[in-house]
Structures are given as C-alpha cells and as structure tokens.
C-alpha cells in the first residue's frame, strides 16, 4: 500500500520522491536517511536541467526487516521519462521469505511505469558457479518476471578463501542507456565499490577554478632584490595616487615574473591532517589489495590486512593530534567552533553559486548578468530607502555634544609598518589587485621604505588613493529564497595594501575614541572587551533585578534595514566633526568614503564597476567603527527606556508596575527613535520589530490588559520568546527553551 504526500517545494518543475517505511520513520536511522536524501537533492538541484523537490511515499510491507531497509528517489527531467533509483538491503541472516516482501516491493515499483535502477547489498551470491543456491535462484526468477537484469558480473567481496557477488545493480533488461558498469577495489572495506553509468542529458557543471601563484618557482632573494632596485624612485612622488599606482604596477609586474599566476580546478578540499606517510601507505595498501585479488595469494591478503590496519591507525592518530592541537591553541570561541565544525564535517562557509536571480518580473540568468544585477541592487539600496523617508526639520547633529579634544593623525615608523604587515592574516583573500598578503610578507625589507613613504603621504595629505577604494563584493546568502537579491549581504574584499593602511588609520582613530570615551556605554559591538555575551549579560541582569523588585520589563526589539549600506556620508562627516575629527583626518575620511567603487563577483565572473553613493564598506576595518560613530547618539533621544545595541541590533527596555505605564514609556520613546531614524536617513526593518513583556509568572498573570505598542499606525507584535544575538529568551527568563535547543544542537 502506498501513501502520497504532496511536495513541500512547489517552485521547481520536477520532483524527487522519497520512499520510506512507516517503521523507518520511527527509528533513529530515519533522520540520517532524510539528511542523505536532502543532500542528494541539493546536489542535483545545482544542475540547470534537472530541478527537484522532495515528497514522501510511505511503502508498507508485511516484512518489517525489508521495510526498514528500502529507500527510493525519483529523478524527473523535463520532457523525459522519470528514473526511479532505489536501494535495498537484505540482512545476511534473514530467511528466504524476505524475497516475498521484495516481490511486493517490485510490484509496487512496477506499477509506477518508470525506468528502474535498484542497487544495494543483497547478501545473495549471484556468481555463475552458485547454481545450487536457492535464494539466488529465487532472486533470478523475480528479476526475469519483471524483465530486470543484474548488470554486475565481477565479485564484489573477496577474501582469502571466497569470491562472492553480493552487491548488485538491477535495471531494465538490455537498457541501451546503461553505458558502463564495473567494480572498483578501494581497499577501505571488504566490499568493493560497484557503479553503473547511465547516459542522461544533463548540462555538466562548471568546475570551480581558482587562481594561485606558483610560489615553488619563487626565488625570494632574487624577488627582493628586483623589488628593491625597481622601487627606489617611488620616494620621489609627492601625490599618493601617483605613487601608489606606480608602486602597484612595479610590484605586480615583478611578482608575476617571479611567482606567476596559474588557474587550476579545485577538485576537493584537502584534509589538513593528511601526511605524505599516510598517502604513500594508502597507495601501498591498495596495491596489496589488487595483488591479493589477482593472485589469490594468502601472503598478499595477510600483508594487505596489516597495511590496512596500520593506515587506519595512522589516520586516527593524525586526526586526533590535528584537532587536539588546534582546539588547545584556539584563541577564542570563534576559532574553537571553526575546528569543531571541521571535526563534525559541517560546512562553515555557504556555497556562493548563484544560478538565477529575480529582478522585478524578470528572471536573470548568466553569471555576468547576475553579477551586474546584484551589484546594481547593492549600490541602489541606500538611495532607494532614503527616497521614501519623509523630510524632517530635525537636525541629526543637534543631540551630539561637541568634543573639546581634537584628533590628529601622526606619521608612522618603519617598526610600526613591519608590525602591521606581520600581524595581517595570511588567510585573508586578496582583492581585485590579486596581491596576496603572503607576497607582501615575502617581500620584506625591499618594500618597507617605499610603502612607508606612500602611507605617510596619505596621512599627511588626507588623500586616500583611488586604487584602494575599489572593492570586490562577495554576496553572502543570509536566509530565504536564494533568487531574491534582498536575501544577500555584501561583503567587501578590499586590496591587500588597503587592509594594512586601514588598520593603521583604525588603530590611531580607535585609540583616540577609547581615550576620550566617545562611544556610548550602550554600544557593545566592535569595541574592545565587549561582545554579544557582555550585551546579553547586561540586559538579562537588569531584567532579573527588576523582576526581584516586583516590576515588569517591557522590551522592544528593533532592527535597522540594510543599516551599513544606508549610512549618509554627509551626516556621518558632520558627526565626526562634532567628535573632534577635523582638518586633515576629516579630509582623509571624506576621501575614504567619496568615489568608492565596487565590482560584484559571481561564480568567478565580474560585473562592471559601480560608484557607491552611501554606506560604509562591510568587511573592512574602518567600516564598522564609522558605523558605530554614526548611530552613537541614538540613546540620547530616549527618555524612559534604556538602549542596548550590538551594531544595528537594538533593544529598548523599560520597567513598570502596570500595563499602562509600560505602554506609555515604550510608545513615547519609540516615537522619538522614529524621529531620530528619519533625521539620520535610516529605516526600521518592519519584519523584525517585536515586543516582549518579561516578568515573573505571577506578574504576567496580573497583566491581562493588552499592551499596544505602535509606530506609524502599525501595531508591533507581542511575543513570548525571542532570539536576540543567538540565544533564546522567554518572557519569564527560565531558559528552558534555550537549554533544550542547546541540548538538541549538541
């Protein structure tokens, strides 16, 4: 009996249908099974010709053992007959009656009238010599009845004394589309790999191609000497733009000669714990396996087993040492999770392959077209959001008290430059200049004088070179439909030299800001000794203290829409002036923001250049600091509530004994926040505005009157739990849901 459930992903024209048993749905293996099919679905959907959805077909059989071991997927290609691919497993100790259930299985599949491919470990020897095997005869009769053929002809399990054909692939008799079949000895199991190739008209995916420099050809002494001689005249330039253009030209020319760039296909990720010893021993293990099978030699079989065990032990020890060392040497939580995710084989970086994108009513395809569309979208975000904001007479600078101190840039020394270059992360991707930090570090003393001259020219003249303002934009998918531009975050990859220069400016500016205590205490993002943990501890501690006093907490969660991309440059520069950043430093930051250009890269294809009219670059050193200064005066507009901010994630908290008191306080300050946002040309994200009442259970029972929080005529939804900054908070601060989620994750 078969039960159909409709597909959940209706946007795709084709389907993958999952066949599983009711028994399998109840046991623990079903989750693994579903994940496997999901992963297969994701892989196939990357093809431009075959698009898939998932739905369930529950196949009920009389024999529970069979039901637990059968799974099918259906692949549908437009204008072609569907292909039903199934796996089946027969436990070795099961009796012959299980083949009766297999016959029911074949009957159900045959009714579908589709092409059939069945594979799996049947634990029934189908070698031609096994003519007296009753299970083998019964299985062959079933295959003949349903016009099916078993295409594997070689032994799939070979020991010192036996050669058996247990792993089968079954398809329609004399199917011309089944091109090749074979058995491959892998050496990692006593069962060999079996495969069949079926001809199908699917466009081949483009391989991932990356460009790398051939460092093995680099003679470092010659490289440094060539640079030193060629860069001698750089100190004669007095204009930062001219000096940097000449420096870049010479550096890249000599780099291309000494360490030329080559393109190569990326086949798979290299295992970091893999050693040359393990590789050599693995090849030797496979050699022994082949010899043992070819010669049917007990001596080779014995040697193979010993070698296989040694390889397994070496791999285990190497992985243990690698992960233990990295976990012990991790500097922070972030590094710990990177290594834990590697250990668990979780992908920490989402694939950025984009096959199509929606723009209005159009469906954009083609890498360059997609790149241009997304780049234009990113550039137009700020102006479009600002255009719908109502004009206001409120002065965005008025709340800021002018700083009596003044920030001055100082020239840097060779020692400082060497330290900054030395601390730059080697793993950071190069920008459009294709200049990796590794080359800068290898250049050593040959570039210090010329680079120091350029950087001090920049700091002295207040001119940020144009070549350092061209960013490579990588769109990172956040959540939701991958075809929607709004579901991507632009990450700026800036030139290598810009990273070093920005770090120098950042250190001087942040030192001034911290010394003068300019950043408000309510801001926990992008500050030393501040983090999401300190933000959450501060809030929850205050909420608990209020609850102990018999008070209720009204908490309003706000999120700014595309906040980094909508920063108004004119308003930002006025605020910087109020904070004591004047003269040449202000001129430099204005130059840094003005006439910035970006190129979007999709699937290794580049868009055209677009000029950025507003916003601060995400992924840079200065961008987050400038954004913090831009929204620094937000808490000054509040009268009844306390703000807690982590970058653009903001919550407003107030206390009260009655619903009316909390309603008044939140509505009054929310109105003030709305006025502040309009003055600063920022927009609230309406989808993420939520309100929560946090109090003891007894107090919550007393608050039976609805609290209406509203903004611009829109009522804000009240929730009983919320997930700010990665944790689950409920309205009684019991942490039950958060603990359950942590347990589930672990």
- Is the pLDDT at 464 greater than 90? The verdict is yes
Mean pLDDT of the 99-120 span: 82
CA angle 225, 228, 232 (to 5 degrees): 150
> Do the beta carbons of residue 286 and residue 187 sit within 8 Å?
yes
Q: Greater confidence, 729 or 79?
A: 729
pLDDT tens column, 365-389: 888 999 999 999 999 988 888 888 8
The pLDDT value recorded for residue 673 is: 93
- Is the pLDDT at 236 greater than 80? The verdict is yes
The pLDDT value recorded for residue 543 is: 94
- Is the pLDDT at 350 greater than 70? The verdict is no
- Is the pLDDT at 237 greater than 70? The verdict is yes
Domain spans in the chain, listed from the N-terminal domain onward? 8-199, 215-263+369-517+564-619, 276-344
The region, left, alpha or beta by phi > 0 then psi within -120 to 50, assigned to residue 16 is beta
pLDDT tens column, 653-695: 999 999 899 999 999 999 999 999 999 999 888 777 889 999 9
pLDDT tens column, 17-64: 333 333 333 343 444 444 444 444 444 444 444 433 333 333 333 334
The region, left, alpha or beta by phi > 0 then psi within -120 to 50, assigned to residue 529 is left
**DSSP run (H or E) holding 148:** strand 148-150
The pLDDT value recorded for residue 276 is: 86
The pLDDT value recorded for residue 692 is: 92
The pLDDT value recorded for residue 349 is: 54
Give the right CATH number for 8-199 from 3.40.50.300, 3.30.413.10, 3.30.160.270, 3.60.10.10: 3.60.10.10
Lowest mean pLDDT segment, chosen from 10-14, 141-145, 294-298, 604-608: 10-14
The pLDDT value recorded for residue 376 is: 92
pLDDT tens column, 84-93: 888 888 888 7
Burial of 408 (0-12, 13-18, 19+ CB in 10 A): middle
Mean pLDDT of the 539-566 span: 91
Going by pLDDT thresholds of 50, 70 and 90, the confidence category of residue 139 is: confident
Mean pLDDT of the 576-601 span: 94
Mean pLDDT of the 182-187 span: 82
pLDDT tens column, 686-745: 777 889 999 998 888 888 778 888 888 788 888 998 888 888 999 899 988 889 888 887
Q: What is the 3-state secondary structure (H, E, C) of 375-438?
A: HHHHHHHHHHHHHCCCCCCCCCCCCCCCCCCCCCCCCCCHHHHHHHHHHCCCCCCCCCCCCCHH
Lowest mean pLDDT segment, chosen from 4-13, 59-68, 562-571, 671-680: 4-13
The pLDDT value recorded for residue 65 is: 41
The pLDDT value recorded for residue 347 is: 65
pLDDT tens column, 497-544: 999 999 999 999 999 999 999 999 999 988 888 888 999 999 999 999
The pLDDT value recorded for residue 29 is: 42
The pLDDT value recorded for residue 46 is: 42
């Amino acid at each position: 009996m078969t039960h159909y459930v409709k597909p959940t992903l209706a946007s795709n024209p084709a389907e993958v249908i999952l066949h599983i048993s009711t028994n399998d749905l109840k046991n623990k293996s079903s989750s693994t099974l579903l994940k496997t099919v999901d992963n297969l679905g994701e892989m196939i959907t990357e093809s431009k010709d075959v698009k898939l959805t998932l739905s369930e077909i529950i196949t009920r059989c009389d024999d529970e053992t069979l039901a637990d071991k059968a799974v099918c997927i259906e692949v549908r290609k437009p204008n072609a007959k569907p292909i039903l691919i199934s796996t089946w497993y027969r436990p070795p100790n099961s009796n012959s009656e299980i083949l009766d259930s297999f016959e029911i299985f074949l009957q159900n599949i045959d009714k579908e009238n589709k092409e059939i491919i069945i594979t799996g470990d049947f634990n029934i020897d189908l070698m031609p010599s096994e003519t007296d095997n009753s299970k083998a005869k019964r299985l062959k009769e079933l295959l003949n009845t349903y016009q099916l053929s078993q295409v594997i002809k070689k032994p799939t399990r070979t020991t010192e004394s036996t050669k058996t054909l247990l792993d089968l692939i079954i398809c329609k008799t004399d199917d011309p589309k089944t091109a090749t079949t074979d058995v491959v000895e892998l050496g990692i199991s006593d069962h060999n790999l079996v495969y069949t190739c079926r001809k199908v008209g699917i466009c081949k995916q483009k391989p991932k191609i990356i460009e790398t420099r051939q460092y093995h050809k680099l003679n470092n002494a010659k490289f440094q000497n060539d640079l030193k001689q060629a860069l001698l005249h750089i100190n004669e330039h007095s204009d930062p733009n001219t000096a940097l253009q000449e420096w870049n030209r010479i550096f890249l020319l000599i780099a291309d000669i000494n360490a030329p760039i080559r393109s190569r296909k990326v086949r798979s990720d290299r295992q970091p714990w893999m050693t040359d010893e393990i590789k050599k021993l693995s090849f030797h293990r496979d050699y022994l396996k082949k010899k043992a099978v070819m010669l049917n030699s007990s001596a080779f079989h014995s040697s193979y087993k010993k070698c296989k065990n040694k390889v397994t032990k070496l791999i285990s020890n190497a992985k243990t040492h690698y992960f233990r060392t990295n976990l012990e040497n991790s500097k922070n939580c972030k590094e710990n999770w990177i290594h834990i995710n590697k250990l668990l084989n979780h992908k920490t970086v989402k694939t950025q392959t984009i096959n199509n994108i929606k723009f209005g009513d159009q469906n954009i395809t083609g890498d360059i077209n997609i790149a241009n569309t997304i780049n234009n979208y990113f550039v137009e975000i700020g102006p479009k959001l600002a255009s719908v904001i109502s004009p206001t007479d409120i002065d965005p600078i008025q709340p800021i008290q002018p700083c009596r101190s003044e920030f001055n840039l100082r020239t840097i020394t060779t020692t400082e430059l060497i330290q900054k270059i030395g601390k730059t992360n080697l793993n950071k991707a190069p920008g459009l200049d294709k200049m990796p930090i590794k080359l800068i570090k290898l250049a050593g003393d040959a570039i210090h004088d010329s680079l120091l001259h350029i950087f001090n020219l920049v700091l002295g003249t207040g001119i940020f070179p144009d070549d350092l303002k061209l960013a490579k934009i990588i769109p990172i998918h956040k959540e939701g439909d991958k075809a929607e531009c709004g579901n991507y975050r632009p990450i700026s990859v800036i030139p290598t030299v810009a990273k070093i220069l920005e770090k120098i400016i950042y250190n001087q500016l942040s030192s001034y800001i911290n010394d003068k205590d300019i950043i408000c205490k309510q801001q926990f993002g992008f500050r030393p000794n501040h983090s999401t943990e300190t933000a959450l501890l501060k809030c929850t501690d205050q909420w608990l203290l209020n609850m102990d006093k018999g008070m209720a907490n009204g908490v309003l969660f706000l999120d700014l829409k595309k906040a980094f991309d909508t920063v108004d440059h004119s308003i930002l520069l006025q605020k910087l002036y109020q904070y004591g950043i004047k003269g040449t430093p202000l001129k430099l930051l204005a130059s840094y923001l003005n006439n910035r250009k970006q190129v979007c890269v999709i699937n290794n294809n580049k868009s055209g250049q677009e000029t950025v009219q507003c916003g601060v670059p995400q992924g840079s050193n200065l961008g987050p600091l400038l954004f913090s200064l831009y929204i620094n005066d937000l808490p000054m507009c509040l009268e009844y509530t306390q703000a807690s901010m982590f970058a653009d994630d903001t919550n407003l908290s107030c206390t009260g004994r009655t619903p009316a008191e909390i309603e008044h306080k939140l509505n009054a300050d929310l109105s003030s926040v709305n006025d502040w946002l309009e003055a600063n040309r920022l927009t609230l994200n309406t989808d993420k505005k939520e309100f929560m009442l946090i109090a003891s259970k007894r107090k919550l029972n007393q608050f039976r009157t609805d609290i209406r929080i509203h903004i611009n005529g829109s009522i804000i939804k009240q929730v009983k739990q919320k997930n700010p900054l990665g944790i689950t908070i409920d309205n009684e601060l019991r942490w039950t849901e958060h603990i359950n989620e942590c347990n589930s994750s672990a």
